[in-house]
A and B are shown apart, each in its own frame.
Chain A
Amino acid sequence: MNSISQKVVRAWAGLGPGFLPFADAATPDVPLSRLLRLSLFQVSVGMALVLVVGTLNRVMIVELGVAASIVAVMISLPVLYAPFRTLVGFRSDTHRSALGWKRVPFIWMGTMMQFGGLAIMPFALLVLSGGGNAAAWPSWIGPLSAGLAFLLVGAGLHTIQTAGLALATDLVPAESQPNVVGLMYVMLLLGTVISAVIFGVMLEDFSPGRLIQVIQGSAIATLVLNTVALWKQETRRPPRNTGAVAAPAAPSFEAAWRRFISGDHAIRRLAAIALGTMAFTMQDVLLEPYGGQVLGMSVAQTTLLTATLAGGGLIGFAFASRTLNRGADPFRMSVAAVLAGIPALGLVIAAGPLESLAVFVAGVFLLGFGSGVFGHGTLTSSMRLAPRDQIGLALGAWGAAQATAAGVAVALGGIIRDVVAALAARDAFGPSLAGPATGYTAVYCIEIVLLVATVLVMAPLIGSKRDASFAESRSVN
């Protein structure tokens, strides 16, 4: 080996663990390779999300010519299942299994639902579009089967994510949780970005056959990714090893929920998560058209916006992992993230009148960063505050609040923009506000109000003590 190579090798060796993001998420019991393998379930969830919300949204409207209103209903169907995440979490906490598993049966069931939904989806969409011989059959078959497919995918992905995050919390000790949360978020983002690129390339040359290949291919990918992810991950705790004569009866969902919300500001935490998530996601589908309509950006440039938002999120996750590892309070960090969101939206609004791309991109980046830190902080605090026997319920409640708020916010953002833009076009706000920017600005202003509301709700949580059962729970796992 020559001297240059030796120097480079030494440089790599020095970079090693520090260079690999979240390498310090691993512990002696749970090595990084095992955590990375577990996090593959997030890749399958990201893939399903981008397929349903992004790719198929476009394919149904543009290539298959389905009415936009039907498409909107179909895409919103997975959100309907989000509130049930709390129930899924509770059921996985109290699951009775002779094999001694709590999370694996739910991840597997979720995988089957997502697989099933994706397996029937391409045919359902083709029938929905009235193509082939479908016109000879009753017209209700298309919407019903497509609705079933979207519901199955939604139910599957929410179940997988809830049980998967609960399993991750079970596996790692408390001090590694911030890094594991970071890793899970990064894998979700990676799954989304990589799948979006692959779907885009594969569907460029669109044909019904290609649509079937792509969607059913993603069904197989779901099965493979999730099987690899959960293989030998959960410790089996069969009842025969516990020494208990008879297990006590599981509490009802109502009793468990009442106990959960009586703990440490649970309702306030959930309200803060919902408000903050709404504030950070309402502009999600509006940033690209805003860039195009108001700032005159090209399609390629607006696509880069999504990358900027994702890049901000990635840096946010890494920053949050680092900060929380140094012992920061997750609520204080989340409040700071929300406060960073206000100038970010200010920059986005100001970019219109200033006609400045640089200001807009800076705002979008800061928004992605704030959103990443906020998501990380709230999930980490939910993990930390979860009582030992209610980890599934606590993470289910986090997921329900977060996913429902995100779904509602995206829909509301679109509706508010359309209504305000229509009113502005009719000169309802005077000639100076008749431009296309008014609808978007209205949404951004509502987001700022929501961010302020989040800070007000969250401020009393700063420094709130961990649940008493927390420390004891970690020593067991």
Chain B
Amino acid sequence: MDDPNKVWPTGLTVGESEELHRNIIQGTQIFGMIAALAHLLAYIYSPWLK
């Protein structure tokens, strides 16, 4: 893992895998926040836990 230019069997280097991973984490966080906000607004409009 210490050679930054080594291309692993996936076709990616460590740096590239890290960037891919960063994007997946960031995407999950954004989609999570959107979903939470949409649920909150839906709850304000029509509470389902009554």
Contacts and interface: CB of A to CB of B under 8 A. Distances in A.
Given A105-B23, A126-B45, A133-B47, A112 B30 contact: yes
Given A105-B23, A120-B38, A133 B44 contact: yes
Contacts of A126: 41, 45
Contacts of B13: 98, 238, 240
B49 to A, nearest CB: 12
A54 interface: no
B38 A238 contact: no
B19 A98 contact: yes
A145 B47 CA distance: 17
A97 interface: yes
Given A98-B13, A120-B34, A240-B13, A134 B18 contact: no
Nearest to A236: B16
A137 B34 contact: no
Contacts of A99: 16, 19-20
A141 interface: yes
Given A99-B16, A105-B23, A120 B31 contact: no
Contacts of B19: 97-99
A280 interface: no
Main DSSP-derived SS at the B contact region = helix
A137 B16 contact: no
A244 to B, nearest CB: 13
Contacts, number: 57
Given A98-B13, A98-B15, A141 B34 contact: no
A314 B46 CA distance: 45
Nearest to A101: B19
B19 to A, nearest CB: 4
Contacts of B34: 115-116, 119-120
A97 B16 CA distance: 8
A112 B31 contact: yes
Contacts of A108: 23
A115 B46 CA distance: 22
B20 A123 contact: no
Given A115-B34, A132-B45, A132-B46, 16 more contacts: A98-B13, A108-B23, A116-B30, A116-B31, A116-B33, A119-B35, A120-B41, A123-B44, A124-B41, A127-B41, A127-B44, A132-B44, A133-B44, A134-B45, A137-B44, A208-B45
Which 5 pairs of residues, A with B, have the shortest CB-CB distance? A123-B41, A98-B15, A132-B45, A116-B34, A98-B19
Interface of B: 5, 13, 15-16, 18-20, 23, 27, 30-31, 33-35, 37-38, 41-42, 44-47
10 contacts: A97-B19, A98-B16, A98-B18, A99-B16, A120-B38, A123-B41, A126-B41, A126-B45, A134-B45, A145-B41
